[in-house]
């Protein structure tokens, strides 16, 4: 059930003060960005990249705090319940902000109602990757290998409801695969185990896996997008391999519901400036990611995305018959 935050006298006073001159002076101290997954993974990389630029725009340090667990819902619950003063915000993702309600019947937040949306941070296609000594030469052969052997194989993901979990559910269901699912606190540590050969395969954001694909420490079988990535020109799309599987992920920045609109506008403006920075754009291209442009920027676009994605993903998850608790 979504949280109903009961306003305390302190929070009402803080809000009254914040909607006045304090909002105009915001920020006057460091801002904490909760990343609801482990350090080194896609959400962490995006939060640090954007946070670094936003620090310069806002004139106050943006501190990243990793609060992983339960597919990112622990960290996002912390932010939903935080004081709505602009000093605790989060970078969530498609999992925490769209898939989680269908998977966690007792979830304490509603992605569309418990947050003041700041803006979409990026869109990233999923990549199908395996440990480096996997023998299959292409995606079709890899799927055939998985079909015969999946009961003996393991699939790594970032916890129930995370993007890697949901995209894996869709991929595995589509091809009738039943691997052992191994949850981590983020795909940063899951990827380390794929490199080490402790798990067999993942469907994960290109943002996370491109450096290891380029280093030859894991094998890439396909990009689940209509077009190849500029930074991985040799890796075919799923469609080019004759496989019908497209899956795009996204990250987004949010604050607790009730954060004064002036403060949300300052954060949205700082996010937009970071997205316009050529160095941020170059890094996105290197990692296979794309920043939102035009009408996809800002709070209203994110609100629309969350609502439409919850409506799309919920039936897929219900059909898969999975819940977290
Ligand atoms: C992460 O940051 O670890 C990922 O975004 C997790 C996920 O697959 O959702």
Q: Which helix (H) or strand (E) holds 87?
A: none
Alpha-carbon gap, residue 139 to 133, rounded angstroms: 15
Quickly state the pLDDT bin for 21 (edges 50, 70, 90): low
Q: From the CA of 17, how far away is ligand 1's center (Å)? A: 36
Name residues whose C-beta falls within 8 Å of residue 278's C-beta, 6 or more positions apart in sequence. none
Distance 164 CA to ligand 1 centre (A): 6
Mean pLDDT value of segment 28-41: 98
* Residue 190 Cα: closest atom of ligand 1: 3
Ligand 1 atom nearest 94 alpha carbon: 9
Which residue ranges have their beta carbon within 6 Å of ligand 1? 37-38, 41-44, 93, 95, 158, 162-164, 186-188
Residue 295 CA, ligand 1 centroid: distance in Å: 25
Please say whether the beta carbons of 316 and 170 come within 8 A.
yes
Q: Which of 162, 193, 199 to mutate to test the pocket of ligand 1 (most atoms within 8 A of CB)?
A: 162
Torsion region of 272: left, alpha or beta (phi above 0 gives left; psi -120 to 50 gives alpha):
alpha
Burial of 265 (0-12, 13-18, 19+ CB in 10 A): middle
pLDDT bin (cut points 50, 70, 90) of residue 23 is confident
| pLDDT tens digits for range 169-220 | 999 999 999 999 999 999 999 999 999 999 999 999 999 999 999 999 999 9
Q: Where are the alpha helices (DSSP H) in 175-260?
A: 187-196, 206-214
**H or E stretch including 287?**
none
Task: Report pLDDT digits (tens) over 132-158.
Answer: 999 999 999 999 999 999 999 999 999
CA of residue 25 to ligand 1 center, whole Å: 34
Q: Which are the contacts of 282, defined by CB distance < 8 A and separation ≥ 6?
A: none
Q: How confident is the model at residue 2 (pLDDT cuts 50, 70, 90)?
A: very low
Q: What is residue 15's predicted lDDT score, i.e. its pLDDT?
A: 55
Q: What is the 3-state secondary structure (H, E, C) of 95-143?
A: HHHHHHHHHCCCCCCCCCCCEEEEEEEEEEEEEEEEECCCCCCCHHHHH
């Amino acid at each position: 059930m979504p949280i109903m935050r009961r306003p305390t006298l302190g929070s009402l006073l803080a809000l009254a003060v914040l909607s006045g001159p304090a909002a105009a002076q915001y920020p006057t101290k460091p801002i904490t960005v909760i990343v609801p997954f482990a350090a080194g993974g896609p959400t962490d990389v995006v939060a640090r990249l954007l946070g670094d630029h936003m620090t310069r725009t806002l004139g106050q340090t943006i501190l990243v705090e990793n609060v992983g667990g339960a597919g990112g819902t622990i960290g996002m619950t912390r932010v939903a319940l935080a004081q709505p003063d602009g000093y605790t915000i989060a970078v969530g993702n498609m999992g925490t902000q769209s898939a989680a309600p269908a998977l966690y019947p007792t979830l304490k937040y509603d992605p569309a109602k418990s947050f003041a949306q700041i803006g979409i941070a990026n869109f990233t296609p999923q990549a199908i990757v395996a440990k480096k000594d996997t023998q299959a030469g292409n995606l079709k052969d890899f799927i055939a290998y998985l079909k015969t052997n999946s009961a003996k194989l393991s699939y790594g993901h970032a916890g129930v409801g995370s993007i890697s979990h949901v995209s894996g559910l869709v991929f595995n269901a589509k091809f009738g695969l039943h691997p052992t699912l191994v949850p981590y606190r983020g795909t940063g540590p899951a990827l380390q185990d794929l490199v080490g050969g402790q798990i067999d395969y993942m469907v994960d954001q290109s943002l996370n896996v491109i450096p290891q694909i380029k280093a030859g420490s894991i094998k890439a079988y396909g990009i689940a997008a209509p077009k190849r990535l500029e930074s991985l020109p040799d890796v075919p799309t799923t469609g080019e391999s004759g496989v019908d599987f497209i899956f795009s992920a996204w990250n987004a920045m949010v604050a607790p519901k009730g954060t004064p609109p002036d403060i949300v506008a300052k954060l949205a403006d700082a996010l937009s400036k970071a997205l316009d920075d050529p160095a941020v754009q170059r890094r996105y291209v290197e990692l296979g990611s794309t920043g939102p442009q035009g009408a996809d920027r800002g709070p209203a676009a994110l609100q629309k995305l969350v609502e439409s994605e919850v409506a799309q993903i919920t039936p897929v998850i219900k059909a898969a018959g999975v819940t977290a608790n």
